[in-house]
Amino acid sequence: MRKNILITGASSGLGLGMATEFAKKGHNLALCARRLENLIALKEQLLSLNPNIDVYVYQLDVNDHQAVFRVFEQCQKDMQQIDRIIVNAGMGKGASIGTGLFNANLQTAETNFIAALAQCEAAMTIFRQQNSGHLVTMSSISALRGFRRAMTVYAATKAAITSLSEGIRIDVMHTPIKVTCVHPGFIRTDINKSVKNAPFIVDLTTGCKALVKAINKEQANVYVPTYPWALLQWIIRIAPISTLRKMS
């Protein structure tokens, strides 16, 4: 059992949902996010849910790359060992390329990939020192192809996460360090709350239960919820562009 788990972007959305599910299962948690007051409130909720676990909270802006290393190192000291790190912090701002919203697209690119790279670097530094650990990265079903409008840069960053994760996995093959890349389908969070017609969308609790179940299997690449996305991912890979246009 991966007893001690660090989650970034834990104050809301998938991070909060996963923290809740892991707390129910008895894991100690280190929760990182920009909004410290939200983390403190979440800590109280988790301890009321399961008073037998330890919960640590750390204010962290993942775009402050040096802070990522400092906070992860502090977490390792506080927990003595980190068994799993979930690189979850991300955002979904953006618009079609060339429509005047470069800054929003840039912010998404920096947060979803450059900041994720910093988190992976910090996580793998710890895991290499320990010679153990489970790195979990949060990609997306959208990583499989290109998408339009607000999804264009978002999908590109998630494709980069999938590739980055595979490269790390190859690098540590035949070691006690495992790497899982998670590709969620549509799970209702603040990022997509304005999206009305997302196919096969599930609520946050359902989605996070599926995420935790998949993460605990420690497979290389997982598609969540398994039904229908484990099947649909093959269809998406070969679908004509006209079909992708209708999906976004």
Six token digits for residue 89:
């912090």
Q: Which residue type does 63 have?
A: N
Quickly count: other Cβ atoms within 10 Å of residue 77's Cβ: 8
- Among this protein's residues, is 154 annotated catalytic? yes
- Tell which residue, 118, 19, 134, has the closest CA to residue 84: 134
In 3-state terms, what secondary structure has residue 94? coil
Output helix, strand, coil percentages for the chain, rounded to the nearest 5. Answer: 55, 15, 30
Six token digits for residue 118:
């910093």
Six token digits for residue 9:
């972007």
Q: Kindly list the strands in the beta sheet with 133-138, ordered across the sheet, starting from the edge strand earlier in the chain.
A: 55-59, 28-33, 4-8, 84-87, 133-138, 177-184, 221-224
Quickly count: other Cβ atoms within 10 Å of residue 74's Cβ: 13
Annotated catalytic residue, options 56, 58, 154, 227:
154
Q: What are the b/e assignments for 186-202, b being 16+ CB within 10 Å?
A: bbbbebeeeeeeeeeeb
Six token digits for residue 62:
């993942």
- Tell which residue, 225, 188, 229, has the closest CA to residue 210: 225
DSSP 74-91: HHHHHHS---EEEE----
Residues marked active site are found at: 154
